[in-house]
Structure 1
Amino acid sequence: MIVVQMVNSLTANSLLSHGLVPRTSSGLQGIVFSPFLHGSVRHLLSNLLPFVVLSWLVATEGLQRYVRVVLLIVVLGGLMVWVVGRPVIHVGASGLIFGLWAYLLARAWYQRSLASFAIALVTLLGYSGLIFGFIPVPGVSIESHLCGALAGIVTAWLMHSRRLVERGPAQ
């Protein structure tokens, strides 16, 4: 994200054209690229610490699980923004951050283990302020926040639901 922002800054924000633009064929590329693009250095810095901390907490399950969680949140959340978002360019890692946050909280519900509960408690205490990200603010993609959180919950359900785990693959 830092390297992408450096290139973006040096090219007068030319990379923002690769952001997610809902319901356009060119905007589909933004499903993958938008979490790495930021409108400014300030925007990047506001996302960097929560991204690192929440990523680390998810990575306690292992690197392979972390990669699957991130990919699912990025794709599911991005697709939802592409379907329901306002027709503007959506960029930034906040959708992924809200997805990781919601994943950690929902995972505790599905796993019902002491470790997942402890991590959810740390997540809730440390990042309870994210709840204010669901309040509309001009210039902020509330769609990314909402869709990212929903993608995090769905990802936790897909990976940890006891019914799915006990039954195994579709029979």
Structure 2
Amino acid sequence: MLIPIRRYPVPLTRQIRHLGMLLTLMVLIEIVNSLTGRALSGLGILPRHPDSLWHIPFAPFLHANLWHLLSNLTMLTLFGLLLFQHGLARFWLVTWTVTVLGGLGVWWFGRPAYHMGSSLLIFGYFGYLLLAGMLSRELKLLLISIGIGIVYGGLLLGVLPQQHWVSFEAHLFGFLAGLFSAVIMGRARS
């Protein structure tokens, strides 16, 4: 099944405004979380706990600490701006699909710990950008896919277990949700 969402050019100022809203929300949540002694961290995804299912939409906006947030902002900004080349509607649909499907994957298969952070979105955007350009058959988007694969292909190692404090599950299921998004949205032409 393909979702026929037309691609319309998004002016840079609008891209920055929408991405800025997303990033500002993350920063504000981090400030509140820091000032409340990390009280919001309990809204991360705790796998297989029924009460944690409703935490899925919040998990990408929460971070373990300021360093965790700052380390994610650059990649999220870069991949977000590249994703806007697929259109504004796709940016938000991919963001929502990755958050929900990736979060459900973490909830179902993750290790018993709180999972949070925008790396779920980063890997979801990465998966989408890697595949959608190839499926679109549009030169600009194809070049983005090739460039992402060449420059950031090493990110694929992040879907493997490495450090115990890193949620490779969020990386893995975010990436898979991004690929899924590309399959259902990537072929619709502008």
Q: Which amino acid aligns with 1:59?
A: F
The secondary structure found in structure 1 opposite 2:58 is helix
Deviation, 1:118, is 0.8
1:42 — aligned with what? 67
Matched, 1:21 2:43: no
* Aligned counterparts of 1:85 and 1:74: Cα–Cα separation in 2: 15
Could you say what the CA RMSD is over the residues aligned between the two structures, in angstroms?
Answer: 1.5
Q: Which amino acid aligns with 1:124?
A: G
Please list every run of 5 or more consecutive structure 2 residues that lacks an aligned counterpart in the other structure. Answer: 1-25
Deviation, 1:27, is 1.0
Please list every run of 5 or more consecutive structure 1 residues that lacks an aligned counterpart in the other structure. Answer: 167-171
Q: 1:3 aligns with which of 24, 28, 33?
A: 28
Pairwise mapping of residues 103-122 of structure 1 onto structure 2 (< 5 A)? 103-122=128-147
Is the Cα contact below 8 Å between 1:19 and 1:29 reproduced in 2?
no
1:146 — aligned with what? 172
Identity %: 41
Larger RCO, structures 1/2 (Cα 8 Å, 6+ apart): 2
Deviation, 1:115, is 1.3
* Aligned counterparts of 1:150 and 1:7: Cα–Cα separation in 2: 31
1:51 — aligned with what? 76
1:169 — aligned with what? none
Q: 1:68 aligns with which of 93, 112, 118?
A: 93
2:148 — aligned with what? 123
* Aligned counterparts of 2:138 and 2:86: Cα–Cα separation in 1: 13
Is the Cα contact below 8 Å between 2:30 and 2:62 reproduced in 1?
yes
Aligned residues: 163
The secondary structure found in structure 2 opposite 1:90 is coil
TM-score, length of structure 1 as denominator length: 0.90
* Aligned counterparts of 1:26 and 1:94: Cα–Cα separation in 2: 23
Is the Cα contact below 8 Å between 2:85 and 2:141 reproduced in 1?
no
Deviation, 1:150, is 0.4
Deviation, 1:16, is 0.3
* Aligned counterparts of 2:130 and 2:30: Cα–Cα separation in 1: 30
TM-score, length of structure 2 as denominator length: 0.81
Write out the 4+ residue segments of structure 1 that deviate beyond 3 Å after TM superposition. Answer: none
Is the Cα contact below 8 Å between 2:124 and 2:174 reproduced in 1?
yes
Deviation, 1:123, is 1.8
Q: Name which of structure 1's ranges 82-91 and 116-125 shifts more when overlaid on structure 2.
A: 116-125
Deviation, 1:77, is 0.5
Q: Which amino acid aligns with 1:50?
A: M
Deviation, 1:133, is 1.0
Deviation, 1:63, is 1.4
1:159 — aligned with what? 185
